[in-house]
Structure 1
């Protein structure tokens, strides 16, 4: 089980390394529009709790051990494979988006609609990577609290955020985004 915890924390570090250069550059960019609600800030805080704080608390203490469960070893290795896939999709999303990525709902002055690379298949690959992540997390962190908290929060975050993000893209890019929506799936590729 310790190897699975190690994989989880290595994946957290990998996400930080992938995002850091873009995040640093992105903060310098001029924004033409921001749509950050209190609800979104609360949901992002809860995601931090489920993805980072509770797993850290679980990994560093024995206080959550009462909620442990045990899966066959193959399930942990499946979690490792899923986490690798989540990181691959996460990396590709950032590579293709570049400075068009932002942690909240915002449009840069020089914002472009990205429809190539992984975005040629799905509109929200970063959310796809997070869906894979929240499925892998309880396979790696075999604890009812640390394993599943991220999934529970992400379900609500995804439902709220994607709707708002797609509306912002429609407001910004109009018919170009409508055509893009017809060709691509949200988190799964559309059959062609």
Structure 2
């Protein structure tokens, strides 16, 4: 393993996670001040959130701190670190953009807030769930930044569990709340990958 590429990749991942938290924190604080009028939190919802935290936070954090599981390491290359950096920071850029676009409508869970609006501008003009798109970019970035099969797959698995447990329920809730406006919006957009899915 190219030690310097591995160290650079780990450092970039850590810096990226700090940026992720800095982006998210003000929206969490603001969200507490806005009344929730429909809360669909469930055990399944929590399982999805914890899968994402485990796969895209705890597993790579433990790997960076301990080097475990070293048996799943593969050689680090500067091209992979560069690609991982582009993917990871593209994910962070999209993550911030989606938060800004949602504004007071943002919630960590399946909730409708007071005076909730259907957002279909910015990244939402291309896909219905750009925050999941950002998580997918972060997962692929993690895979290239941290040269370990288990850690790379943990990020993709964590994303997949969150996405497939929540997206259908999220869309159902939006259809119930916004009716034909959401149905028409869904006809003109893809879920997370523009022009594809």
TM-score by length of 1: 0.94
Structure 1 stretches of at least 4 aligned residues deviating more than 3 Å after TM superposition: none
Q: After superposition, give the CA deviation of every residue in 1:35-77 in whole Å (9 maximum; x if it has no partner).
A: 1111111221122111111111111113322221114321121
Q: Tell me the number of residue pairs that the alignment of Structure 1 and Structure 2 aligns.
A: 191
Aligned partner of residue 87 in structure 1, secondary structure: helix
Match of 1:101 in 2: 106
Q: Alpha-carbon deviation of 1:145?
A: 2.0
2:172 maps to 1:172? no
Residue 51 (structure 2) aligned to one of 30, 42, 46: 46
Q: Alpha-carbon deviation of 1:123?
A: 1.0
Match of 1:143 in 2: 148
Contact 2:56 2:158 in 1 (8 A): no
Residue 84 (structure 1) aligned to one of 76, 83, 89: 89
Q: After superposition, give the CA deviation of every residue in 1:82-108 in whole Å (9 maximum; x if it has no partner).
A: 111111111110110012111110000
Q: After superposition, give the CA deviation of every residue in 1:134-178 in whole Å (9 maximum; x if it has no partner).
A: 111111111122222121122122112111100000000000001
| 1:151-190 equivalences in 2 (<5 Å) | 151-190=156-195
Match of 2:67 in 1: 62
Contact 1:55 1:146 in 2 (8 A): yes
For the aligned residue pairs, the C-alpha RMSD in angstroms reads: 1.4
2:48 maps to 1:32? no
C-alpha distance in 2, partners of 1:18/1:112? 22
Contact 1:183 1:190 in 2 (8 A): no
TM-score by length of 2: 0.92
Aligned partner of residue 107 in structure 1, secondary structure: strand
Structure 2 residue runs of 5 or longer lacking an equivalent are 1-5
C-alpha distance in 1, partners of 2:70/2:175? 46
Q: Alpha-carbon deviation of 1:27?
A: 1.2
Structure 1 residue runs of 5 or longer lacking an equivalent are none
